[in-house]
Amino acid sequence: GGDHSIGAGTLAGLLSVRPNTGIIWVDAHADINTPDISESGNMHGMPVGLMLKGLTNPSVIPGFEWLGSPSMNNVRLNSDSIVYVGLRDVDPKERLVLRRNNIKTFTMYDIDKFGIGGVMEQTLDYLLCKDSERPLHLSYDIDAVDPILAPATGTAVRGGLTYREAHYVAEAVVRSGNLASAEIVELNPTLSDGDGTSDTVELGLGIVTSMMGKSII
């Protein structure tokens, strides 16, 4: 994919046909800003905010009028249908949104505390506890990974996922048997050079193969 703003379209599309989909948002950032609270105005920081039920009216934003059409007006994301993995750079107003809506989050602190295995086990338990056959969507921002390993991205933040943690996230969702859709975003080869570019692209491709079911054995 491109930057994470495409996630708004992804969420709208999949929720229109599979409204019970559980979302695993792997990202250094919460992307739950709206135009009225965003500090930067960057649309790639808003895809979850635009689609979260009751948070804002995205159809008044130029280019998003279609979200107000009769077929899409009620297509929104419930706050208990998303889990964040890998957060470490969250705006102050985003923190308020997350807390007020009781949204499930696993920051890098939680990954340090529980391990990536524990975090993914809790993530899957949370999303599948009421319906073991619930479809899952994995939205994977490459900046969830530490920039030492994946520097070719636009909003890099130190202290991210390791190489194996990055793969484990995808592997765990695949092994649940519930992965129905996935995207990988914010990988931009022009934002690094030489080894940085090739390392990021190679890692991105590896994560995609993990999403497709590749395993060590």
Catalytic site includes residue 44: yes
Name the active-site residue from 89, 94, 110, 143: 143
Name the active-site residue from 44, 137, 146, 183: 44
Give the count of beta carbons closer than 10 Å to the beta carbon of residue 175: 13
Name the active-site residue from 3, 29, 137, 165: 29
Catalytic site includes residue 141: yes
DSSP-derived secondary structure letter, 77? B
Name the active-site residue from 3, 89, 171, 186: 186
The H-assigned helical ranges of the chain are 6-17, 47-51, 92-100, 108-128, 163-176, 195-211
d(CA 5, CA 8): 6
Name the active-site residue from 4, 110, 137, 171: 4
Catalytic site includes residue 29: yes
Catalytic site includes residue 133: no
Catalytic site includes residue 27: yes
Q: Are 166 and 204 in contact (CB under 8 A)?
A: no
Phi/psi zone of residue 124: left (φ > 0), alpha (ψ -120 to 50 degrees), beta? Answer: alpha
Compute CA distances 135 → 55, 116, 121, 138, 180, whole Å.
Answer: 24, 21, 16, 10, 5
Helix axes 195-211, 163-176, angle to 10 degrees: 20
Catalytic site includes residue 186: yes
Catalytic site includes residue 137: no
Name the active-site residue from 3, 89, 94, 141: 141
Name the active-site residue from 3, 27, 89, 146: 27
Catalytic site includes residue 199: no
Catalytic residues: 4, 27, 29, 31, 44, 141, 143, 186
